Amino acid sequence: MAVRYQANKMNEDSDLMYRLLVQSVEDYAIYMLTPEGIIANWNAGAQRAKGYLSDEIVGKHFSCFYTPDDQKKGWPAHGLETARNVGRYESEGWRQRKDGTQFWAHVIIEAIREAGVLIGFAKVTRDVTERRQYEQQLLAAKDLAEANNERMTALSQFLDTVIANIPSSVIVENAVSREILLVNRQAELLLGMPRERMLGKRPQDCLNQGISDYLNKQSDECLRAEGLHKSEQQLITPIGERILQTTASMISGSDSQTSYVLMIADDVTDQHAAHARIHHMAHHDNLTSLPNRVLFSQRLHEALKLSKLSNRLTATLCLDLDNFKSVNDALGHQIGDELLRGIAKRLRFVLREEDTLARVGGDEFAIVLPNLPYLEKAHQIAQRLIEAVKPPINIEGHSLTVGLSVGISMATGSEDTPEHLMRCADMALYEAKRNGRNRYEVFRVEMDEAARKRRDIELDLRDAITGKQLRLYYQPITDSAHNEIIGYEALMRWNHPVNGLIMPLDFIHIAEETGLIHSIGAFALHEACHEAASWVGEQTIAVNLSPVQFKNSALLSVIESALTESGLAPHRLEVEITESVLLDNNHSNVTTLEKLKALGVRIALDDFGTGYSSLSYLRSFPFDKIKIDKSFISDMHDSREALAIIRAITGMSRSLDIQTTAEGVETDEQFRRLKEEGCSLFQGYYFGRPQPSESRLTGFAPVDLSLQCAQ
Ligand SMILES: [Mg+2]
């Protein structure tokens, strides 16, 4: 009995101890549920975990610990069901405390049976929120590490692709061992070797000596020169002789002890060739391959610098071909171009090695003669150039002759600039052409003055056209009876606001050079026709045409409109042309003359006997009239030759039935002799001076009577 009591006592004590133990556990919520899920007891851990006091919760259904969402999903019933069926249910999930806050719980529900009958459930819940957080951080870190790893792999592959495709050759060596560690595709092509045969080897162990020496030199220089070395060098490679522009730089590895040499080599061979071509094109003339104006200026500049140091002379020559344009116009550009090439060769042949011959325009050349011992040397060379051009040159069956005019300027002082010398040589060239071409002239200061004057006249002439300063004066023409005025020649006068009256001789050649002659000529035609139409009577009106006007295809329509607008009968208009219009058998000019003649306009050959003077011109076109130049009239008295020429002209004209006008008749004696020689018309101060339309001479006083009165 005592033993039994003792055993019962021990059992009771053990239960008590066990209950006390369970109740005092604070880290775990441990409590019992009835088979229906009603909370049967509560321990300190449960109170701590869920915030309920024992009195508040015992007797309630345990589902109140679940979130409304989980309750809706039936999780509490599922837990009990599982434990009932398999004896144990274990899971993790969110649970709610009394105050509504949540925690992550690890839950075990265990079924308790006595003699096979379910008497309830033991429920153990632990707050594992912190552990879960830690686990989740670990997971995130793992994901991040994996993502980074993928990114690094992708980046590495990307870099490999980039390096492989860089159009430059890329080679990386270990800075100490000099083993080749990286070779891209371009470097394989340049070195003519697959990378497998180079990687891990030093250049001298796998490449030919020339190339390995080159690579080793780049590395040496780079390491010597604080980690960077640039070079450009020609190298014989398996793909031929190439110019390489190489940059070698030192790069440090991840640890401080390892460093590498990165070499990037660009093949600049083609670039160099293109530069050379562009340079040549920028400095040379395409047609002749001679230097152009740009290179010419540089050479002249250099020559001037040298001459200052050496006390030797420098000459600048401007050259212009005479008659080139007519060859070009008549035979076409192709032959013109060939001619230029041929002439260029001849010119070059005359010159010394150190001289520069340049083509600076269509048929214009320029020469620098540096290092001359004396002035006359330049003259000798100029003369030799003229002689070299003279002989006919044969191109495609045409025997072509052109002339050469040369202007020379000598550098005289430190103020000489290339531009100034060119300008001076150009003025001397102008003078050479004015003095009859096929010759040279040396620049003199007066030429500058004359050029300035020409420029002033040119500027003033433009104002003159717009400012109505140009007027026509009319000089009478009579016949041998000297009874009436049968016509007038219109002569232009410039009434300059400052310089007074200016004669055609002083401005027409400038108008011709500048092209202003076209407007001036059109004005003269319109004005003369207009004024003549207003006169009483049927006198003819003669208007001078410049050869330059024939270059303008509008000439014919200008004359037509002058006639139409004025209403002047075409047969009253006479145009005076000079022989040069017919020079070189110019067909288009002859066609223009024929069209004029067809209009009814009369054509006179002016200043006959001067210039090229060939009687054959008289046969080349059916002129209505020939005007004998006044120089023959004034010389006639003293010169048998002058008289002979007059006689030849009048004789020829008679036989061709052409009228002749003697110009510049000043005395009764001249008039008498010219009548005897058979001249048909007369003009000169003896009969009347040129006057404006309103005050022009309209008739003659009886001559003999007036002379008798005077005597
Ligand atoms: Mg005339």
Dist. CA 247 → ligand 1 center (Å): 80
For residue 613, CA distances in Å to 177, 565, 605, 654 come to 95, 36, 11, 18
Please calculate the CA angle 53-54-58 and round it to the nearest 5 degrees.
125
- Alpha-carbon 40 to chain mean position: 100
- Look up residue 505 and give its DSSP letter: G
- Output the pLDDT for position 709: 41
Read off the tokens for 517: 């002659």
Question: What class is the 166-272 domain?
Answer: alpha beta
Helix (H) or strand (E) holding 31: strand 28-33
What number of H helices and E strands is found in the chain?
25, 26
CA-nearest of 23, 69, 79 to 48 is: 23
Amino acid type, 479? D
Dist. CA 412 → ligand 1 center (Å): 45
What is the distance between the alpha carbons of residues 698 and 538, in angstroms, rounded to a whole number?
12
The predicted-structure confidence for 65-108, as pLDDT tens digits, reads as follows: 999 999 999 999 999 999 999 999 999 999 999 999 999 999 99
What is the distance between the alpha carbons of residues 514 and 363, in angstroms, rounded to a whole number?
18
Q: Tell me, letter by letter, the H, E, C secondary structure of 193-207.
A: CCHHHCCCCCHHHHC
The full set of domain ranges for the chain reads 16-127, 166-272, 286-443, 455-702
Read off the tokens for 379: 């003259």
Q: For residue 429, count other CB atoms closer than 10 A to its CB.
A: 25
CATH H-level, domain 16-127: superfamily: PAS domain (3.30.450.20)
- Output the pLDDT for position 661: 95
What is the distance between the alpha carbons of residues 697 and 572, in angstroms, rounded to a whole number?
18
Q: Tokens 């270990």 correspond to what residue?
A: 174
Neighbours of ion ligand 1 (CB under 5 A): 544, 576, 606
What is the distance between the alpha carbons of residues 234 and 301, in angstroms, rounded to a whole number?
33
Dist. CA 606 → ligand 1 center (Å): 6
CA-nearest of 439, 465, 150 to 319 is: 439
What is the distance between the alpha carbons of residues 261 and 221, in angstroms, rounded to a whole number?
11
Read off the tokens for 647: 């006689």
CB proximity list for 194: less than 8 A, separation 6 or greater: 188
Dist. CA 610 → ligand 1 center (Å): 13
Dist. CA 496 → ligand 1 center (Å): 22
Ranges of the chain whose pLDDT falls below 50: 705-711
- Output the pLDDT for position 390: 92
Dist. CA 672 → ligand 1 center (Å): 22
Examine domains 166-272 and 455-702 and report if their fold is the same.
no
Read off the tokens for 258: 């390892």
The predicted-structure confidence for 147-171, as pLDDT tens digits, reads as follows: 999 999 998 888 888 888 888 999 9
Dist. CA 434 → ligand 1 center (Å): 21
Dist. CA 487 → ligand 1 center (Å): 13
Dist. CA 501 → ligand 1 center (Å): 19
Q: For residue 66, count other CB atoms closer than 10 A to its CB.
A: 20
- Look up residue 638 and give its DSSP letter: T
The predicted-structure confidence for 436-460, as pLDDT tens digits, reads as follows: 788 999 999 899 888 888 888 888 9
Dist. CA 662 → ligand 1 center (Å): 11
Length of the chain: 711
Read off the tokens for 249: 């730089």
Query: 479 in helix, strand or coil?
Result: strand
Query: 611 in helix, strand or coil?
Result: coil
Amino acid type, 9? K
- Output the pLDDT for position 708: 41
pTM above threshold 0.85: no
CB proximity list for 26: less than 8 A, separation 6 or greater: 44, 45, 48
Dist. CA 489 → ligand 1 center (Å): 7
What is the distance between the alpha carbons of residues 163 and 175, in angstroms, rounded to a whole number?
19
CB proximity list for 583: less than 8 A, separation 6 or greater: 547, 612
What is the distance between the alpha carbons of residues 227 and 573, in angstroms, rounded to a whole number?
92
Read off the tokens for 430: 């102008």
CATH H-level, domain 286-443: superfamily: Reverse transcriptase/Diguanylate cyclase domain (3.30.70.270)
HSE (CB half, 13 Å, CA atoms) of 127? 17
- Output the pLDDT for position 178: 92
What is the distance between the alpha carbons of residues 242 and 272, in angstroms, rounded to a whole number?
10
Phi and psi dihedrals of 26, rounded to 5? -105, -20
CB proximity list for 43: less than 8 A, separation 6 or greater: 22, 23, 24, 25, 28, 29, 30, 31
Dist. CA 569 → ligand 1 center (Å): 21
Dist. CA 640 → ligand 1 center (Å): 25
Dist. CA 171 → ligand 1 center (Å): 87
The edge-to-edge listing of strands for the beta sheet with 259-267 is 180-183, 169-174, 259-267, 240-252, 228-237
Dist. CA 551 → ligand 1 center (Å): 19
For domain 455-702, the question of CATH label 3.30.70.20 is answered with no
